[in-house]
Amino acid sequence: MTSHELPLGRPVDYPRHYDPGLLFPIARALGRTALSLPSEGALPFAGHDRWHAYELSWLDARGKPVARTATFTVPAESPNLVESKSLKLYLNSFNATRFDSDAQVRARIADDLAQAAGAAVDVRFGLPPMVGDEDDVLDLDALEVDIDDYGPPNAAYLACVGEIVESRVRSALLKSNCPVTGQPDWAEVRIDYRGPRIEAEGLLRYLVSFRDHAEFHEQCVERIFTDLSTRCRPERLSVEALYTRRGGLDINPWRATPGLSPPAQVRALRQ
């Protein structure tokens, strides 16, 4: 069997020069319509998509390679998200191009991502720290529960009781599939809310029901936020998913009740 006959990824032309045209924007309205969210006007949530880039390099003015990591933050109200493989190819296009300084590269990336997303994008070199010990977070994965439903996402599992609580929960069992490639996407989801207590076993079953579902990372988080808001009507709600990396990138969408401060920037163990 030759390499061309193997059931592996097909060759992709490696970018030889800096090329912002490689970025592929996707209208957020495409996913939000399915959730009955407004295509224009105020959204029921605030938030952002925080990207971590682990494989960023270029040449300095003398041709010596420079290697950096970076964090990009795209506002949720931007009209477009950026498709992840296109972002990978775009960042690879820096590899053989000379730049005078870190500041020039940072400004170039910020301008290009802003053009693709349709809104200002914050670009910083470096990565957030790993998450530390958290005694006040309920780990849903420790629950002993039978599950046999892996999709489509089923909000009927979400049940709430009358007592008002403030609670933080997490699960590393969120999995969905890329709608473009069909490849699996893995994430730790972190939910912080004040409102009627969300029944833990039902919440875990709901999160697992994304397992065979095909949707972009950002859309999955907006679906979780919308379903929890509709079924449980919390006074405040924050949903963040820390996805594992593919192609040297990971993405961390966060959606929350408008007015809430963003959670501390951290990376999960699997990131």
Active-site hit among 111, 122, 149, 178:
178
**Residue from 49, 185, 227, 250 carrying the catalytic annotation:** 185
The string over 65-84, giving b where at least 16 C-beta atoms fall within 10 Å of a residue's C-beta and e elsewhere, is: eeebebbbbbebebebbbbb
Q: Which residues are annotated as a binding site for NADPH?
A: 84-85, 246-247
Catalytic residue at 178? yes
Q: Which one-letter DSSP state was computed for residue 25?
A: E
Tokens 């959730």 -> residue: 35
135 is catalytic: no
Report how far residue 33's alpha carbon sits from residue 215's, in angstroms, rounded to the nearest whole number.
13
Question: DSSP assignment of 129-140, as one string?
Answer: PBP---TT-EEG
Report the first-to-last Cα separation within the chain, whole angstroms.
35
Q: Which residues are annotated as a binding site?
A: 82-85, 217-218, 246-247
Question: How far does CA 225 lie from the centroid of its chain?
Answer: 13
Tokens matching residue 38: 């407004």
Residue 93: DSSP 8-state: T
Cα atoms found within 13 Å of the Cα of residue 76, Cβ hemisphere only: 26
What span, in angstroms and rounded, lies between the C-alpha atoms of 47 and 26? Answer: 18
Positions annotated as catalytic residues are 178, 185
